[in-house]
Structure 1
């Protein structure tokens, strides 16, 4: 197959695999690359190694058609899409090692004329650093001057909601930031093959900052709701009624509080802004601190109720970071369960997570934590702790909770 017909997607996780699948479904020939052998094997078998509605049917179809395959090594290709993690360090700086490792693996495969797109959420300037890294390794190539040995670099951040990725990857507007205008235009042509939303062209650094601004906006609004829930608890006020009443104002729309903020976007991205402008990002930093403190508040609530029992049994409903997915990244619910299990000298944690078949390693190593189904957990529990509003929990018979002590962080059983 001619390399000018191939799109290579580096990273087959929650964003990379849907991107690869939707490109393949819209006519591209795609090779996905991942260091995780299980992900490679699952994709080549037409399966998806995580939970995401509607993704598996698309993957199965394009794999069967020969439009998508996966492998461990980066091939030659016309277009490279980098969709690898960009976590934060313990000091809230970006860990760009995965992006730079991807750049190192792509560089030897280039001949000139290729488009390299970074989809990973990035601090301002990372796309340019990726370009500099590749060009330093390939001094025979240049950065987008229009000649035959030119390379084209762009940042095109994902902006999809887990659980709705296959809908939103097509319907949402898309920001396309080129290191050069030519790179932005080439990237626009690629995304136009499947994206029905508006394609918004800008420079790479503005594109990077736009994604961070979107998630920081969400973080700020969630922090307000979470802070209201803490204040309301101290004052003996039902926060759910409070928010419902306040939202009757025509210009007020307060979000719902929860056990904290998780996932690889909202819980992480604002720190990139703080790191980029530490003296100026005061409100962004404060919102992160409010949301990061919420799990400790929930832990305090549960431990106060558990102190009434000699050997409390606590059913924890949900450890994913949001409803109806299996993604545990940065999950405040998982952190609450782990810290609760450690804090209980005598007691048992019954974890209910309908989207996973095994406990994560952090919980599996604890002797007092079990993974059970929801009815068994509630039946055995003294305390029911609602952490995630998964759909199976919403349909529970509330009579099951009649004799239980309830800590409901999601307002599910008001």
Structure 2
């Protein structure tokens, strides 16, 4: 039975001080008379939210477009001169220590429109002098003029989301506007807020699982380079749990290469990686991840059965001192074509004596170049291949030329299996070899 824990609410009472403003503020605008606002006491307290400046953009002192790092937002005059567009964020990756161009289109309210930007790097709900960038100014009465500049992302900024404030004010060129992010006394202008994501964007995926978890046990991969099947009867909209080790690269896959995969944290609250058909993920800490499969990135699908698999590690190289069944070259006197004009299949028998052993790979000598090898193991049926009992993919480790014959160069390939295979004592097996080489050397 699952229970919800009560929510613990913590409240802090801020320290309060009072200060008297040092001077009156004056705003001047053509078409309007100068307005003098009397000095008044200001209450200074720990901030509880970002300030909301109230400016007047009804006379054309406004922001009509902000273009920055994939944000391209065209607007009209916002109510009270403030527009909250924090639902919009950059689509271009921003990196700490780099600079990125910004373009702000302003209105024609006054010949001087000054553009400034703040980014709250320390996330204290204040826009401080150290977080200020002066973009520029236009001084011509004309609609649709654009102020351009560059926004440097502070070096050392941690990956995450930050609030950016863009402000236009009907004043002359002034790079000292760094304290005016919350100013209401300027009177004429507009302010807009956006969200910036610094660092690589968080992966998106599907953390829904209407069919729950299957199997109930957490799967632990062997990490020997072999593909391990978590389950061969997986359903869509379902997940499996997998133990992972920090620094180890895991490849998660499904038997249907169009299915959408999501790797989530153990609680199912955060996406760690996602993709279609196959996903690679390297954890930074030991733990458990969730492996979800869906029909598509729309997080859909119900009961379509498939296999969820995981692979990690590399197969061990074949032993260097193997003498069992080691057959020397027969000086390229004969061979069998792979496929050939009769679609023949090439196999050899492996009689195992009184001691079983583990096979890690094979060293076939072939005619022509090879880029792929695969192997099928069969039981013995009266001296012929019987029932298929295992398959292995080959991983080419190295090759050496052994000679030339029949106008082909012959090469001995050292081929590791993607996972070892155990052969039982007093048993005969057959192994079939397929390759994109021309032929497999044999004795006549």
Measured against the shorter chain, the TM-score band is under 0.3
Using the size of structure 1 for normalisation, the TM-score is: 0.24
Which one has the bigger strand percentage? 2
Which one has the bigger helix percentage? 1
Using the size of structure 2 for normalisation, the TM-score is: 0.22
